[in-house]
Structure 1
Amino acid sequence: MKLRILILLFILAAFSNSYAALYKEGEIIVKFKNKPNQTLKTQAISETLNIHVIKLPPNMKVEDALKKYRNDPNVEYAEPNYIIRKLETTPNDKYYSSQWGLVKVLANKVWDTCKGSDNTIVAVIDTGMDLNHSDLKNHIWKNPGETDCNDGIDNDNNGFIDDCYGWNFASDNNNTQDDDGHGTHVAGIIGAVTNNSEGVAGLNWYIKLMPVRILDSKGEGSIANAVRGIDYAVKNGAKIINLSLGYPGSCSYVPPDQALYDAIKFAGDRGVLVVAAAGNYGCNNDKTPMWPASFKLPNIISVGASDQNDNVAYFSNYGQKTVHLLAPGTDIFSTYFDKTNNQSQSTYKSLSGTSMAAPFVTGAAALLMSCLNNATIYEIKERIVSSVDVFDKLSNITISSGRLNIYNALNNPLKPIRPTGLSVVLNNNNAILTWQDNSSIETGYVVERKSDNSNWTVIARLGANTTSYTDNNLTPMTYYYRVKAVYNTEESLYSNEASITVLNPPPTSSGGGGCSITAGTSPINLIYWLIIPVYVLLRKVSCRSIKM
């Protein structure tokens, strides 16, 4: 019995001390049933509700004042004036202040409620990882099916011997140690050990990072090994794959690789999200795609790089139809493996590239996956892309027109990704609209129209997966169009606007020996019909037949 009392007293004392730190000393909040006594030193904070702050006499404790006023028959309730603090978790990692990207995407606000999970496995298909880095090693995935890492036996019968820490497809062995630094840097952004008083903070405080090496020490690899790496990651439990790599290495068109497409589609079919870097060549991926980022697959998120001022980074590829969003990608400080002058060391380094932007989105997806237990990979993608911080200057740069905001992605209602690439052509006074469907969850589309002298009005409500609409029998004037996706009661941002002008028909000739344009056996293009009458007018050609 004495032991129980001692424990209880200890708990009460501890509770009392922590409780006192939560409110302001020297005052309490009181709601009176009727007007308070005028002799009381009060300040009304809501006269309507009859709630007041009462300043306490010197040396009166808050606890004593609460007891006194709670016994007053004219008091409905009395309570401490609690101190409200901003909800923002700041880790104690040594170089956290150098990690501008974490604050930019509001990771510090997310950490109050969501820090990740050890059950979330993210495969980093890259140059490997520094397996002994003090800021990474506790987060590196270990194959639970391998009982001994050096027994020369494929204990889990997955086709890979001693693959305790992933597999090296570049050398076809189980050594996934990084000797380039790139993969280590990417891994640190996603999930460096956080709040350990050293190094950097990762987006996920709890996570498992699966090393899958397909690139050599020069940072080069092959499609075949990429396919093998994706297959390995999917079959060994990865839920998200980061691909900070791609081809071609310039702004030139190269056709997509079907095998790589099939591998990523297979990942999606197995419930695996793939995040891919958009490329570092300043290209418009709408015109000269970067693969695999530009694959039209619902389980891919394509990521470009932004700078500290929310501009698209000067080197970043972009695309209104092909790049989903931007994420921090300039001067990103993270874990690194340095191998120079025949000396190797675990260290930290600042790098720039869409290779750095992609893991911000991968890390965001991992956070959402760990804290939104029932969310599908498609819902996670929609949340990330539709919850960006939108900037007008990015309206023609990405599908979303914005930069990653993890806090919004976690807390905003689920909305569909907006349609893009809206265009309109005229055919016999009928406007034919087409757009790109970027969402996997939309329940329909809304088409709106206006003219120079009218406001936007809804002209059509269409079903899911619709990508075209015809506005018929238009009268002469200029028309503007925009489209948005809907998901139940939620709406996406609007698409880009598109316009078309319907002209009055040309006047009918009254005869009198005028000129004529006679078609020959070849069809006449519209541009010729526009050019020839002007030519005829300028040359003052009359009473002759022009044959084409």
Structure 2
Amino acid sequence: MSTSGLLCATIRKMNANAAGGSKIIRNVLCLNVGMLLLLSLGIPSAVSQAQAEETLLPEASQTIQPTETAWLAESGTATPGLPTSTELPASITPSFLPGSPAPLAPQLSDEGLRGEFVPGEVVVRFRNRASKKSIEQCIQSVHASVTSEIDELNTLVLSVPEGRVAESLYHLQSCSDIRYAEPNYTMHIADVYPSDPGWGNQYGLVRIRAPQGWELATGSSSVTIAIVDTGIDRTHPDLAGKLVAGIDIANGDTNPQDDHGHGTHVAGIAAALSNNGRGVAGVSWGARLMPVKVLNAAGSGSQANVAAGIVWATDHGAQIINLSLGSRDESLDASGFPVLKDAVDYATSAGVIVVAAAGNGGGNSVMYPAAYPNVIAVGATDSSNTRAGLSNYGPEIDLCAPGISIFSTVPGGYSSSSGTSMAAPFVSGLASILLGIPGNGSPAAVTGQMQNTALDL
């Protein structure tokens, strides 16, 4: 099965017709085959299982059957697979024939019931043979009223005196036409939200639907993202634990410490330490970060240094290279950056995914290296999921991601910044999650998955 729809993050795709300026915006990495995955694993639905059980129980049979009660996990979230069938705790299981008067109930407390449920409500399913009269008598026996019903399942939601759910379940078992009775358990969304306190400021992760994706995968430490930039703050508490060996080409040493802040901000977006109760969350919780410093304290550097950084990262095991940089000189085309083009070709021929920022001029012109055909060019969107005014656009654009007021790591703390530089690492983080899924395929397949599963807006 293709993995292209197994994660969810709405990274935006935007393409433009060079003449007409029309653009296509897409969301990528959408969870759209989860149910197909369950079906492929042969997991029956709860409804089909219940129907099968009903068939196995002859309507005329008077054999005493255990009450079937499906309990959910105490965590409040649905447990993978089907819920197990169980009974009320043995201490309160009645020992009387169905249809006979119920004995006096022991002192039952709702606190003895497992799981989170709606106070004062029980869910009851009746057998197909149940008559209207027997159903009414059963409801009256526990002083209940009908709140709602699911006719197709012969199921009623009953309102019982608050605090007497357990007692009501005990008495309901005396009704011979009941298949099961259980508390009305509470369901919750299955998204994964990190514990990082800065999460509330990270609208970008919400826009790309990262919580839905994290329910399926959060990234693997076997994947390394090279941040070819101004370096990374090697002492930052949200980054230090993710770093592998790097290099400082800008200053000719082995200490790629960030003396500008840009690279640290980019790194945090892609793969900050996440769900650790500190700072912010990155797109990929598992990916490693390789600091490759090619830009100086002013945020500038030569194309030769950038090319050398790309080659170094490729040779030292990076599977993804993030380039939140490029040339602002619109008078130069690809022929003006031959060494940069050669470096990109060197990386991609080695199976490395190269992601680059489209530029912040707001015009129909994508800067290099993003404009190269073997580079994933990333534009920026804002909090309303529209193209950011500062973002370059054009036919070279492959994907777009949030790029306005993005909250992330900076040396010594956290701050917000804007630009396609902030958008690119959303894609790099996404690519690392896909690449880290066992058996998911080649870098080319991952790139295709990000593009082909995009949703046009």
**TM-score (norm: length of structure 2):** 0.68
The one of 135, 158, 167 aligned to 1:37: 135
- Paired with 2:356 and 2:415, the residues of 1 have a C-alpha distance of 22
Deviations 1:302-349 (A, max 9, x none): 101111222322221101x20112211111121112xxxxxxxx1222
3-state SS, counterpart of residue 334 of structure 1:
strand
Residue 115 of structure 1 aligns with an amino acid whose one-letter code is T
1:122 equivalent in structure 2: 225
* C-alpha displacement of 1:100: 1.6
Instruction: Supply the distance in 2 between the matched residues of 1:78 and 1:371 (Cα, whole angstroms).
Output: 41
Residue 21 (str. 1) matches residue 102 (str. 2): no
Asked if 1:296 is matched to 2:296, the reply is no
Cα 1:327–1:59 change in 2 (3 A) is closer
2:259 counterpart of 1:183: no
Counting aligned pairs with the same residue, the percent is: 38
State the alpha-carbon separation in 2 of the partners of residues 14 and 318 from structure 1.
Answer: 46
CA distance in 1, matches of 2:74, 2:232: 48
Displacement, 1:174?
0.5
The change in CA–CA distance for 1:13 and 1:134 in structure 2 (over 3 A counts) is: closer
Per the alignment, residue 56 of structure 1 pairs with 160
Q: Could you list the per-position Cα deviations for residues 12-36 of structure 1 after superposition, in whole angstroms to 9, with x for gaps in the alignment? A: 9999989733322332222211235
Task: Return the letter of the residue paired with 2:299.
Answer: G
Counterpart amino acid of residue 307 in structure 1: D
2:183: which partner in 1?
80
1:432-511 alignment, distance < 5 Å: none
Query: Aligned equivalents of 2:125 and 2:363: distance in 1?
Result: 64
Amino acid aligned to 1:24: V
Matched, 1:335 2:412: no
Map of 2:85 onto structure 1: none
Partner of residue 351 from structure 1, selected from 396, 407, 417: 417
Are residues 1:318 and 2:393 paired? Answer: yes
Change (3 A) 1:50 1:176: same
Q: For residue 156 of structure 1, what is the aligned residue in structure 2? A: none
Query: What is aligned with 1:223?
Result: 303
* Cα distance in 2 between the residues matched to 1:302 and 1:332: 19
- Cα distance change on mapping 1:238 and 1:19 into 2, 3 Å: farther
Asked whether the equivalents of residues 30 and 53 of structure 1 are also in contact (C-alpha less than 8 Å), the reply is yes
CA deviation digits over 1:197-231, x for unaligned, max 9?
A: 33222122222101111111122222222222222
C-alpha distance after superposition, 1:114-151 (max 9, x if no partner): 2222222111111110000112111112xxxxxxxxxx
Give CA-to-partner distance per residue, 1:476-519, whole Å, 9 cap, x none: xxxxxxxxxxxxxxxxxxxxxxxxxxxxxxxxxxxxxxxxxxxx
Which structure 2 residues correspond to residues 331-410 of structure 1 after superposition, within 5 A?
Answer: 331-337=405-411, 346-371=412-437, 373-391=439-457
Asked whether the equivalents of residues 334 and 372 of structure 2 are also in contact (C-alpha less than 8 Å), the reply is no
Query: What letter is aligned with 1:362?
Result: S
Q: 1:71 to 1:273 in 2, by over 3 A?
A: farther
Do residues 96 (structure 1) and 199 (structure 2) align?
Answer: yes
**SS of the residue aligned with 2:326?**
coil
The one-letter code sitting in structure 2 at the alignment partner of 1:103 is V
* Structure 2: distance between partners of 1:19 and 1:174: 60
The structure whose residues are more often strand, as a share, is 1
From the superposition, tell whether residues 14 and 133 of structure 1 become closer, same or farther in structure 2 (CA, over 3 Å): closer
Q: 1:29/1:362 Cα in 2 relative to 1: closer, same or farther (>3 Å)?
A: same
SS of aligned partner of 2:123: strand
Residue among 244, 248, 267 paired with 2:347: 267
Q: Show the counterpart of 2:210.
A: 107
In the superposition, relative to structure 1, how do residues 261 and 60 fare at CA in structure 2: closer, same or farther (>3 Å)?
A: same
Distance 2:391 2:75 in 1: 54
Q: How many residues align?
A: 341
Is 1:169 the counterpart of 2:249? The answer is: yes
CA offsets 1:374-424 (integer angstroms, 9 cap, x no match): 232223222322344533xxxxxxxxxxxxxxxxxxxxxxxxxxxxxxxxx
Give, in angstroms, the shift of residue 373 of structure 1.
Answer: 4.2
**CA distance, structure 1, for counterparts of residue 231 and residue 285 of structure 2:** 21
Amino acid at match of 1:197: G
Q: Cα offset for 1:88? A: 2.9
Q: Which amino acid aligns with 1:254?
A: D
Q: Normalising by structure 1, report the TM-score.
A: 0.58
Residues 45 and 383 of structure 1: is their aligned pair in 2 closer, same or farther, counting only changes over 3 Å? farther
Instruction: Determine helix, strand or coil for the equivalent of 2:253.
Output: coil
Aligned to 2:103: none
Q: Give the secondary structure class of the aligned counterpart of 1:178.
A: coil
Q: Give the letter for the 1:124 counterpart.
A: I
Report the structure, 1 or 2, having the larger helix content.
2
What is aligned with 2:330? 251
Partner of 2:320: 240
1:520 aligned residue: none
Q: CA deviation at 1:242?
A: 0.4
Query: In the alignment, which residue of structure 1 is the partner of 2:46?
Result: none
The structure number with the bigger radius of gyration is 1
Conserved? CA contact 2:234–2:240, under 8 Å:
yes
**Which residue type is aligned with residue 334 of structure 2?**
P
Q: Distance in 1 between matches of 2:325 and 2:438?
A: 28
In the alignment, residue 305 of structure 1 is paired with which amino acid?
Answer: A
> Secondary structure in 2 aligned to 1:81?
strand
SS in 1 for 2:340: helix
Label 1:71 to 1:139 Cα distance change in 2 as closer, same or farther (>3 A). farther
Q: Given residue 97 of structure 1, which amino acid in structure 2 is its aligned partner? A: G
**Aligned partners of 1:187, 1:176: CA distance in 2, in Å?**
13
Q: Which amino acid aligns with 2:391?
A: S
Report what 1:134 is aligned to. 237
State whether residues 251 and 283 of structure 1, in contact with CA within 8 Å, keep that contact through their aligned partners in structure 2.
no
Q: CA deviation at 1:72?
A: 4.5
Q: Write the distance in 2 (CA, Å) between the matches of 1:373 and 1:177.
A: 35
RMSD: 2.7
State the 1:58 CA deviation. 5.1
- Once residues 23 and 365 of structure 1 are traced to their aligned partners in structure 2, the CA distance between those partners, rounded to angstroms, is 39
